[in-house]
């Protein structure tokens, strides 16, 4: 049996940026991209110094990089500060009174706006300095680890930037995670402090953040201090000698807090990402290389201009929130939008209201959200004026062409290029994408490598595969924002990312490259389906199912089968209003037969109104696999968004 992945998708549409868009873009043509890309790969010593000059340095770096496999270092010997780059350097010119953060709180009710706050760069700088002094006052010194467990309020970004300002390493834990998830992360990184809020709003109710912290800290003696933001005004317990209120602490400090001069390789943050098995991995990012990656990709991929209002909908508990909502946007001096609530609470048009209200120009979200919008119906969209938009982005999963076309037509009104950005928590910033003024996009393909990124599709032996043959996506050389290690476990880092295929970074994704060099991600390698000797990526079969007019979303997994090796099981969410009949299964099977061929016809189709997803919206196929095999779900479920989904799926079994 071969390790290649059979590719079935027949998508051939191509969308060129309009002449008007290209003309105003940072990078305006394929030739311009190619020239810079080649320079970044073949002459890194001329390319990177020029790029790095766009950051503010306290001390110039001496050596560009060092690569002692698997450990990378960049801009060695330099000193800088991420918070200084995101704030102080914008205060000397016309950005000083520009909006840095535009925040919309969870709406008070149907048709009502949320609370609203705008922080200019001057405001944000002051808040960060004040809070950085609060951290110092509470015993934090450079190198300490701090857990941030907060709702999506400006103070969450303020806390991150304050840590960065004094050289404390933050680890943001998504506000929806449980006490147990907190315990694991606090222990793993040896945190001394937790920054939290009394509670956070979610769909009209209050999530008891502080209560979860109290619960967790019964088992975390290392945490000496908890700083509590008053947000939801819910009743909480204050542990004397350990817990202090954010607003009270501010009374004791000044706003004078110069940014620490930090080494290029100083640890900026640890972000936990769940592996398919075992305990979560603490992905470590450091200062200079990470910041440059976030800064440059924000500028070029989103074609960011001074006048833009940028909205990345990701929560800051996810890497996308770190690199684009906070660090990339602010390092560029942009206006970044933060929204506390859910897209469909109290009504499914929340996002479109916000775009209209703040005249958002760049909108960046995930396929899972796009499919949900499709499901809720176009009427929610069309009643709002979205004409401020000029660019759309997608991240998190392969976007099925069906969803891509809807995003393009209904949200972008055929005017806005879409950038489909492939990257990982581990990569720190976007690695594969189109540049919106320079390249055509193809629905379902992420596009071409970003500057300095050298990705290849290879077989098990590490041999590069020809065009249109699916295999493993690897990256040949380290880039500035690559993770530095798994915190506390360098062995696991090596094993996980640099052993499968020697001497290269292993992404864990299946992929093919077409004749134009475009990359098509076909799903995670662990999820690849094996049908009668053919290895097929999940994305292609799922795209085919979702292209049926009655389907909103689908996930396909393999179930052990004594005859074929694996039988395909499809979990399908029908569109709203669809009546599920026994005939629908047959209809879907023949639709798949037409779209990609009989080989991909599932043996079993199960209808469900929800799929198990992570908090960031990725379908957890691992859990579906266990359900399809009829067994118990044994793996880690701490990242699962809604535990009820599993119970329901099991109850639905025939």
> Closest distance between ligand 7RM and the C-beta of residue 421, in Å?
5
> Closest distance between ligand 7RM and the C-beta of residue 318, in Å?
6
Judge contact between 27 and 451, C-beta under 8 A. no
Residue 19 in tokens: 């002449």
> Closest distance between ligand 7RM and the C-beta of residue 275, in Å?
11
Positive or negative, the Cα torsion across 9, 463, 508, 395? negative
State how far Cα 323 lies from the chain centre.
8
Q: What's phi and psi for 619, nearest 5 deg?
A: -70, 130
Host H or E run for residue 589: helix 582-595
d(CA 323, CA 298): 8
d(CA 73, CA 94): 35
> Closest distance between ligand 7RM and the C-beta of residue 173, in Å?
15
For ligand 7RM, give the closer residue by CB, 78 or 398. 398
For ligand 7RM, give the closer residue by CB, 176 or 396. 396
For ligand 7RM, give the closer residue by CB, 99 or 473. 473
Judge contact between 155 and 124, C-beta under 8 A. no
- Cα separations (Å) of 33 from 227, 332, 451, 608? 47, 21, 9, 44
- Strand 63-68 to strand 262-263: parallel, antiparallel, or no bridges (unpaired)? unpaired
For ligand 7RM, give the closer residue by CB, 348 or 396. 396
> Closest distance between ligand 7RM and the C-beta of residue 443, in Å?
12
> Closest distance between ligand 7RM and the C-beta of residue 522, in Å?
9
For ligand 7RM, give the closer residue by CB, 138 or 425. 425
For ligand 7RM, give the closer residue by CB, 57 or 520. 520
Task: Give the interface with ligand 7RM as residue ranges (CB under 6 A).
Answer: 273, 319-320, 395-398, 420-425, 446, 507-509, 521, 524, 616
d(CA 118, CA 101): 6
> Closest distance between ligand 7RM and the C-beta of residue 616, in Å?
6
For ligand 7RM, give the closer residue by CB, 395 or 536. 395
> Closest distance between ligand 7RM and the C-beta of residue 133, in Å?
33
CA dihedral 622, 367, 593, 566 (to 10 degrees): -10
For ligand 7RM, give the closer residue by CB, 319 or 391. 319
- Cα separations (Å) of 371 from 96, 305, 578, 581? 39, 29, 16, 22
For ligand 7RM, give the closer residue by CB, 361 or 538. 538
Judge contact between 460 and 47, C-beta under 8 A. no
Long-range contacts of range 118-124, CB-CB < 8 Å, 24 or more positions apart? 119/154, 120/96, 121/87, 121/90, 121/91, 121/95, 121/96, 121/97, 121/333, 122/91, 122/96, 122/97, 124/87, 124/100, 124/154, 124/157, 124/158, 124/161, 124/330
d(CA 633, CA 5): 27
Judge contact between 635 and 622, C-beta under 8 A. yes
Residue 508 in tokens: 């864990």
3-state secondary structure of 282: strand
> Closest distance between ligand 7RM and the C-beta of residue 597, in Å?
23
For ligand 7RM, give the closer residue by CB, 162 or 521. 521
> Closest distance between ligand 7RM and the C-beta of residue 426, in Å?
7
């Amino acid at each position: 049996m071969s390790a290649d992945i059979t590719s079935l998708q027949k998508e051939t549409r191509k969308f060129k940026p309009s002449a008007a868009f290209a003309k105003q873009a940072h990078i305006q043509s394929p030739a311009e991209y190619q020239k810079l890309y080649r320079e970044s790969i073949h002459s890194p010593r001329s390319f990177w110094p020029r790029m790095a000059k766009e950051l503010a340095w306290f001390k110039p770096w001496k050596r560009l990089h060092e690569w002692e496999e698997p450990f990378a270092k960049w801009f060695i010997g330099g000193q800088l500060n991420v918070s200084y780059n995101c704030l102080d350097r914008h205060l000397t010119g016309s950005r000083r009174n520009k909006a840095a953060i535009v925040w919309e709180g969870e709406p008070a009710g149907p048709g009502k706006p949320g609370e609203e706050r705008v922080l200019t760069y001057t405001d944000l700088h002051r808040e960060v300095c004040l809070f950085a002094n609060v951290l110092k006052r509470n015993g934090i010194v450079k190198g300490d680890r701090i857990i941030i467990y907060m709702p999506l309020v400006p103070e969450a970004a303020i806390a991150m930037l304050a840590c960065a300002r004094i050289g404390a390493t933050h680890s943001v834990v998504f506000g929806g995670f449980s006490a147990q998830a907190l315990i694991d992360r606090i222990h793993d990184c040896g945190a001394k402090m937790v920054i939290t809020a009394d509670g956070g709003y979610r769909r009209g109710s209050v999530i008891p953040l502080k209560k979860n912290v109290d619960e967790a800290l019964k088992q975390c003696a290392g945490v000496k201090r908890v700083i509590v933001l008053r947000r939801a005004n819910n009743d909480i317990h204050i542990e004397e000698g350990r817990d202090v209120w954010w607003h009270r602490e501010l009374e004791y400090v000044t706003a004078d807090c110069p940014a620490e001069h930090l080494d290029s390789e100083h640890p900026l943050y640890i972000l936990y990402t769940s592996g398919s098995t075992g305990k979560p991995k603490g992905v470590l990012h450091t200062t200079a290389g990470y910041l440059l990656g976030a800064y440059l990709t924000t500028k070029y991929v989103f074609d960011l201009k001074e006048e833009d209002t940028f909205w990345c909908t990701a929560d800051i508990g996810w890497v996308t929130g770190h690199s684009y909502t906070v660090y990339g946007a602010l390092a560029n001096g942009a206006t970044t939008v933060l929204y506390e609530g859910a897209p469909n609470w109290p009504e499914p048009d929340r996002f479109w209201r916000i775009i209209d209200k703040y005249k958002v120009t760049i909108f960046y979200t995930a396929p899972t959200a796009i499919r949900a919008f499709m499901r809720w119906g176009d009427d929610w969209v069309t009643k709002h004026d979205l004409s401020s938009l000029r660019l759309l982005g997608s991240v998190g999963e392969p976007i099925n062409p069906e969803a891509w076309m809807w995003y393009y037509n209904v949200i972008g009104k055929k005017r806005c290029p879409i950038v489909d950005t492939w990257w990982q928590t581990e990569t720190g910033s976007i690695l594969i994408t189109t540049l919106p003024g320079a390249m055509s996009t193809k629905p379902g393909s992420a596009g071409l490598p970003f500057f300095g990124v050298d990705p290849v599709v290879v077989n098990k032996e590490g041999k590069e595969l020809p065009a249109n043959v699916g295999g493993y996506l690897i990256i040949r050389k380290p880039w500035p924002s690559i993770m530095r290690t798994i915190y506390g476990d360098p062995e696991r880092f090596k094993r996980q990312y640099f052993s499968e295929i020697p001497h290269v970074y292993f992404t864990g994704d299946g992929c093919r490259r077409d004749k134009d060099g475009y990359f098509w991600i076909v799903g995670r390698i662990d999820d690849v389906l094996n049908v009668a000797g053919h290895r097929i990526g999940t994305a292609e079969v799922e795209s085919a199912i979702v292209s049926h007019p009655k389907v909103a979303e689908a996930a396909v997994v393999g179930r052990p089968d004594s005859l074929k090796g694996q039988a395909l099981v499809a979990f399908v969410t029908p569109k709203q209003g669809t009546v599920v009949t026994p005939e629908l299964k047959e209809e879907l099977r023949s639709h798949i037969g037409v779209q990609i061929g009989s080989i991909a016809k599932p043996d079993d189709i199960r209808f469900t109104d929800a799929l198990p997803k992570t908090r960031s919206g990725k379908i957890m196929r691992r859990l579906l696999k266990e359900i399809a095999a009829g067994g118990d779900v044994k793996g880690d479920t701490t990242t699962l968004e809604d535990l009820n989904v599993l119970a329901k799926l099991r109850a639905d079994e025939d």
